[in-house]
Amino acid sequence: MKLRTKLIITFLTLILVPVLFMGAAVYGFGRYQVKAVKELYGVEDTNYETVSNTIAMLSRVTQITYNAMQLKSEEQAEAFEDREYLEAVNQELEARYSFLVVRKGEEFVYCGREGEQEALFSMLPEYGDYDSSQDTGIYVGGNVQALVKQLNFTFPDGTEGSAFIITSIRSLIPEMESLITDMILTILLILVFTSVILTAWIYKSIVTPIHHLQVATKKITEGNLDFEMPAGGDDEIGELCTDFEEMRRRLKESAEEKVESERQNKELISNISHDLKTPIAAVKGYVEGLMDGVADTPEKQEKYIRTIYNKANDMDRLINELSFYAKIDTNRIPYTFEKINVSAYFSDCIEELSMELEEQEIELSYSNYVEEDVQVIADAEQIKRVINNIVGNSIKYIDKPKGRVNIRVKDVGDFIQVEIEDNGKGISAKDLPQIFDRFYRADVSRNSAKGGSGIGLSIVKKIIEDHGGQVWATSKEQTGTVMYFVLRKYQEVPVT
């Protein structure tokens, strides 16, 4: 959910939820108080409107007593001079937070409550002023502030009389006080509850992710990338957390690659240094032998010079590999692609290889199953480097008295497939998937005979893949290894 949507929901919730809850609370408490008023005071047809109208409510709670007094005045008016009757009526009115006042002529003969009678008596309406059909009575203001219901009648001696039910409106009946108190508390609770829920929601969806971002930023500032950013939501801040985690992951990968690259560079320098020491030491030894006159015959001198030449070639090869590795690392391999006739090209390569392998007493066989006119688009120099690296790698690990290298070129549909097989010691199954990795050596025990930079096959893989081909290997320990690579055949597309 987007942040904008959350803010809109929060705004609407702050308005609608309290209104809905308060409406439900008002209805519930109102129904409860209406029922309570009806049961306590015997008020019929009580509803929420009656309870919420203070004057109407105060009038109706004394209506039963008023009706009884009216009936009494019609049937037995002399009762209003009976102190015992008046006390009984006043006691009933006190239960309804009211009191009784009786006037005969101009004289007040009874008052059910003491205190400030003169102010009250002076404000009571005259005989005949009150319409008994009014349920609510009349309001008396000033210092009295009371609801007055007047009953006019005639005493047995013919004197005009009035009975007044006085209800003070300065204080509410307990049910109304309870209703108002409950409503205020309910409104406060609803507002607090809504605020707490929305605050927790907003905190969880906004403040918590921001806190995680702050912690993660601090860790990255300290150089610590070994942590995982908690997943965010689907809002803008959640997307920011996701992007931040992706940035952290890439930074970590970059740092790991940098460390690995530094390790590989150190290993390369160590390998090259070690591999250069052997031919340099040999060159130095043979040169000293020539200088000291140890090679005192033409045959020995020729042998020494040839050995020096071969060792110089070994050093040149190592330096070339190092230089080519630098080009691979920066993706700056100089390719010159051209159409190459497969049969002619591989015949030339085999001719060059045969001379080198003959000197090392290794048997070379070659089989070409490709038609004479098949061509590929390739860099002749770099493909030759591929073949030399694979064959050179095979020679290093041939451990049989009679070494053999078999090269086959086959037509496999849209590709030509080159297979270079040797009868060396083979590669174990656990090492085979990694032989094309840079600096990887299946034979970790280094010696002068099997030394090398460890990047020969990685160079092979890079060149073949840049040609749009693939390279792989199969091997069986103590039997030999077969290296395969494929190149796409050149096919002319007819122009329509």
Alpha-carbon dihedral angle through residues 162, 165, 169, 173, given to the nearest 10 degrees: -170
pLDDT for the residue numbered 358: 87
pLDDT for the residue numbered 197: 80
| Fold classified for 53-171 | Beta-Lactamase (3.30.450)
How many angstroms separate the CA atoms of 41 and 51, rounded? 12
Mapped onto helix, strand or coil, the DSSP state of residue 210 is: helix
The superfamily (CATH) of domain 336-496 is: Histidine kinase-like ATPase, C-terminal domain (3.30.565.10)
CATH 3.30.565.10, the chain: domain bounds: 336-496
- What does pTM read for this prediction? 0.48
Residues (pLDDT < 50) of the chain are 40-43, 48-53, 445-449
CATH 1.10.8, the chain: domain bounds: 215-272
pLDDT for the residue numbered 141: 65
CATH 3.30.450, the chain: domain bounds: 53-171
pLDDT for the residue numbered 399: 86
Q: How far is CA 24 from CA 14, 18, 20, 48, 177, in A?
A: 16, 10, 6, 13, 19
pLDDT for the residue numbered 465: 92
pLDDT for the residue numbered 242: 82
Residue 390, H or E segment: helix 380-396
pLDDT for the residue numbered 269: 74
pLDDT for the residue numbered 51: 47
pLDDT for the residue numbered 448: 42
Residue 407, H or E segment: strand 403-412
Query: In the numeric block, which tokens belong to residue 194?
Result: 């809504």
Task: Find the length of the chain.
Answer: 496
- Closest by Cα among 267, 280, 199 to 10: 199
Decide: 228 and 242 in contact? Cβ < 8 Å: no
Tell whether the torsion through CA atoms of 127, 129, 134 and 137 is positive or negative. Answer: negative
Q: Per CATH, is 215-272 categorized as 2.60.98?
A: no
- Average pLDDT score, the chain: 80
pLDDT for the residue numbered 461: 92
Query: In the numeric block, which tokens belong to residue 481?
Result: 């290894």
Tell whether the torsion through CA atoms of 68, 71, 75 and 81 is positive or negative. Answer: positive
How many angstroms separate the CA atoms of 484 and 309, rounded? 32
Query: In the numeric block, which tokens belong to residue 67?
Result: 């009706």
Decide: 385 and 463 in contact? Cβ < 8 Å: yes
Maximum Cα–Cα distance across the chain: 177
pLDDT for the residue numbered 41: 47
